[in-house]
Amino acid sequence: MRAASRTAAGKGVQFSASPVLDVKLPVWRSRVVLFVMFAAFAALAGRALWLQGLSTEFLQKQGASRYARTLELPATRGKITDRNGQVLASSMPVKAVWAIPEDVSEAPAEKLRELAKLLDMNERDLRKKLDSDRTFVYLKRQVEQETVDKIIKLGIAGIETRKEYKRYYPEGEVLAHIVGFTNVEDAGQEGMELAFQKNLAGITGSRRVIKDRLGRVVEDIGATRTPHDGKDLTLSIDRKIQYIAFSHLKEAVDKHKAKAAGIVVLDVKTGEVLALANLPTYNPNDRSRLTGDQLRNRVLTDIFEPGSIMKPFTIALALENKLVTPTTSIQTAPGRITIGKATIGDAHAHGILTVAQVLEKSSNVGTAKIALQMQPQQMWEMFTAVGLGQQPKLDFPGAVAGRVRPYKSWKPIEQATMSYGHGISTSLIQMAQSYLIFARNGEMIPITFHKTTDQPIGHRVISEKTARDVREMLEMAAGPTGTAPQAQVPGYRVAGKTGTAHKLAGRQYVNKYVASFVGFAPVSNPRIIVAVMVDEPSAGMHYGGQVAAPVFSAVTANVLRAMNVSPDTAVTDIIIPADVLKESL
């Protein structure tokens, strides 16, 4: 080989000049390659400059999003108390148990079974949550600290806890419809919890921290916002009076096998709601079986035809307009009256009655004859003046307006039936408030669920004389010869009116009833108004005097004694006619 090389050299032929190896390239190609390489390096340099110099803030944010976290510092929800400071709703510290599914996947099976048991979960449901592709998943909210301690002792990687609060209601079902409840996020859902959500909830705080890949806080980087706890709420409700009202209402529902019932107790002097109860009810501490029927606050949200508890307003208006006096005679025989093509009647024929007796005996015929002496507009103005057909001005969700049709469309028969509470719809709390004009000598004041020490500002609806006259009639109606002798209270003079109304099904009345009674005591110086409504009593009795009046009597007797109200009569034995007593047994 060396010889061959020498030979080639000897012949004068250069190695580089070999036609095989001598490949000639255009000069521009090498320059293009050089330019491309230079451009690539320039682009890399520019990108580095962009990332390290001009995009620093963006990259820092991206990096921080992977290790920095904003922790919410929950505010403690304000307490709800009754007028005497008794706690009706308070918050308990608990924990939320959450997991990083990827980190929990390698946990031993026996520990996961124990975790499911502590969380009161099915093991299959727990594993389903842990199979999630998410980086964060709640396992259970509002877990008590004792259980959380046991979970921590299991030492399962990826299982973490977070501080939160759980609402507790000491009075349970007794005050459920007033206080309401919160959801798992501690936000009000019903009652006062919903109505005053903003004030009760307060303002949450926050702080910035650095966490490792296991979710553990390794450094506090500040930027703290202090949480502001919610404000406490003091209600006008008296816990003792509430229990009295609730327990007696429950007895009536059980005794008469009623579908539902409601009761409200008002302070005549201040307009404060001292008690409000509904049945059926629910336990706000355990809502696992809560139904819509239990949730309804019937005293505020349900409307019904009030029946005869409307008669005092018709008679008061006639007295006010000087169309009649308490002693004016009204012929009610033969116990019925035909107006147009319709006939209305009394439960019992009475003959000639005075106006006072019309109310005492609850005569539909007598009330209708009095009403037809007036203009529809006058009656409509009276009804609206006491708040009927208007939404109550209460800081409470769901209160309804009821219905009073415009007077221009009233027919004579409709005017007659409205005079004794048919063809008109109201809520129980509206009826309770409207009776303030008789208890307060003709003056109407607003009602409230808040404790107040200020003297309420009212407006006059009827004169003091008219109010006193009707009050005397209402005392007769609740007396031995009236429709509600069972409303009497030993030691106290009481006044009130019964109501018994058929229920509407579609556009027809059916043989189902709403029994009601609204009254106040003591008559000499009224302190409380008690309104009772029992829906569909089905144990044989359905009149207001048989079903609702006894509830009024029991509640009023206990409440007046609880309030230390002095008796206004020396009579301690009530008088109930033998036939009435026999019917109620």
Helix (H, G, I), strand (E, B) or coil at 219: strand
The residues annotated as belonging to the active site are: 308
Residue type, 519: G
The CA distance from 274 to 194, in Å, is 20
pLDDT tens for each residue of 73-91: 778 899 999 999 999 999 9
Residue 344 scores a pLDDT above 90: yes
Instruction: Provide the 10 A C-beta neighbour count for residue 525.
Output: 13
* β-bridge mates for residue 519, sequence order: 496, 530
Find, among 500, 499, 495, the residue nearest to 479 by Cα. 495
Helix (H, G, I), strand (E, B) or coil at 405: coil
pLDDT score recorded for residue 583: 47
The CA distance from 248 to 171, in Å, is 16
Lowest mean pLDDT among 220-224, 292-296, 342-346, 563-567: 220-224
The CA distance from 261 to 367, in Å, is 27
Indicate the pTM of the whole model.
0.83
Integer-rounded Cα radius of gyration of the chain:
40
Peptide bond into 334 cis (omega under 30): yes
The CA distance from 563 to 305, in Å, is 32
Beta strands in 169-214 (DSSP E): 181-182, 188-190, 205-211
pLDDT tens for each residue of 424-473: 999 999 999 999 999 999 999 999 999 998 889 999 999 999 999 999 99
Instruction: Provide the 10 A C-beta neighbour count for residue 132.
Output: 12
The CA distance from 333 to 315, in Å, is 19
13 DSSP 8-state letter: -
Peptide bond into 480 cis (omega under 30): no
CA torsion sign, 563 to 567 to 572 to 574? negative
pLDDT tens for each residue of 193-215: 999 999 999 888 777 666 665 55
pLDDT tens for each residue of 485-539: 999 999 999 999 999 998 877 778 888 999 999 999 999 999 999 999 999 999 9
> ∠ at Cα 316 (402, 580), nearest 5°?
85
The per-residue DSSP string of 332-364 comes to -TTSEEEETTEEEE-SS---EEEHHHHHHHT-H
Query: Is the Cβ–Cβ distance between 547 and 252 less than 8 Å?
Result: yes
Helix (H, G, I), strand (E, B) or coil at 266: strand
Using N-to-C axis directions, what is the helix angle for 123-130 and 109-118, rounded to 10°? 110
Helix (H, G, I), strand (E, B) or coil at 398: coil
Average pLDDT score, the chain: 88
Residues constituting the chain: 585
pLDDT score recorded for residue 585: 34
Using N-to-C axis directions, what is the helix angle for 549-562 and 239-256, rounded to 10°? 160
Domains of the chain: 70-234 (3.90.1310.10), 239-283+295-584 (3.40.710.10)
Q: Which two tokens stand for residue 361?
A: 């005996």
